[in-house]
Amino acid sequence: MLKLLNLLKDGRFHSGQALGAALGVSRSAVWKQLQHIEAELSLPIHKVRGRGYQLAAPLSLLEAAAIAECSAGESWPALIFDSIDSTNAQALRAVSEGQAAPFIVLAERQTAGRGRRGRTWISPFAENLYYSLVLRIEGGMRQLEGLSLVVGLAVMRTLHAYGVSGAGLKWPNDVLVNNQKIAGILLELVGDPADVCHVVMGVGINVNMQSSTEVDQQWTSIRREAGVAVDRNQLVALLNQNLQADLVRHRQSGFSVFQDEWERAHLWQGRAVSLIAGSNQVDGVVRGIDRQGALRLEVNGVEKSFSGGELSLRLRDDS
């Protein structure tokens, strides 16, 4: 299927005979593959007698060589899939199979993409970025402090470089533009966090998506905000570059050196919020984060810190 898509990705018409010859299959087999592409990937294909077949819009596919060519420095090894359950799940499988870190996992589509707290991450084919970076972490818990917030800063800077100047952070793992979600981060660990472990940093960015009936919250994309289609290979290269720089700084100095920058980027700083943990709710005012990345809330005149993977932050109606 990917071979056929690579032939069609230029957005021009291609005859069934030419496609069959290039693939070494019959025109009937080409027709069946085209039907499968339309049904499985929701990619509309124009069929015109005498001209052949054409994708409704040109397609840019992820390629390891293109990412390396766009990279200013080191390019992490990239495992690229046309369709998998989720990049984080595949990254964890690769770790268990002995894949040496660091490496990234990318997919054109996720069939079971997930966000925090078990939410589904909608993943249309070849439109957005589904990305997981795997690192081996040694030296204990200090190397993990505030790590998801550091990733958020790198994602935000990447979006700024693409003209999405309004992108800012929402504790702990979201990137928003005008209260619309444009990116999310999901970290998962395997191994002993007090000794040696692997951390999977999952990043989902809405890139070229312009419409969706499946997303159950307000959202936007780089293309919506900047008005132009984005080359996702260049995007991966820039995200890699920003992450590499920030992760080196984090490893050398810890999260505290990012604290002020992160607070300046926090869109809900000083806002009245509700912190949800299961059936429990804490109402307060956001005062910032501490040196480990925990949220600082003023609750009934007393400042308290909160951290944990299952916490959700919402604006209060009176804020």
Q: Regarding beta strands 196-205 and 129-138, do their DSSP bridges make them parallel or antiparallel, or are they unpaired?
A: antiparallel
Distance in angstroms (rounded) separating the CA atoms of residues 38 and 5: 11
Distance in angstroms (rounded) separating the CA atoms of residues 97 and 299: 47
Cis peptide before 58 (omega within 30 of 0): no
- Tell me if 88 is assigned to a ligand binding site: yes
Active site residue 314: yes
Active site residue 116: yes
Secondary structure class of 292 (helix, strand, coil): coil
- Tell me if 110 is assigned to a ligand binding site: yes
Distance in angstroms (rounded) separating the CA atoms of residues 69 and 75: 9
Phi then psi for 216, rounded to 5 degrees? -100, 20
Choosing from 170, 181, 223, 224, the catalytic residue is 181
Secondary structure class of 196 (helix, strand, coil): strand
| Cα–chain center distance at 156 | 11
Choosing from 109, 116, 157, 224, the catalytic residue is 116
Distance in angstroms (rounded) separating the CA atoms of residues 212 and 225: 16
* Spatial contact of 105 and 79, defined as CB atoms under 8 Å apart: yes
- Tell me if 86 is assigned to a ligand binding site: yes
Choosing from 3, 12, 32, 314, the catalytic residue is 314
Structure tokens at 86: 């989720």
User: Within 10 Å of residue 112's Cβ, how many Cβ atoms?
Assistant: 11
- Tell me if 181 is assigned to a ligand binding site: yes
- Tell me if 166 is assigned to a ligand binding site: no
Catalytic annotation, residues:
116, 181, 314
Annotated binding site: 86-88, 110, 114-116, 181
Annotated binding site for biotin: 86-88, 110, 114-116, 181
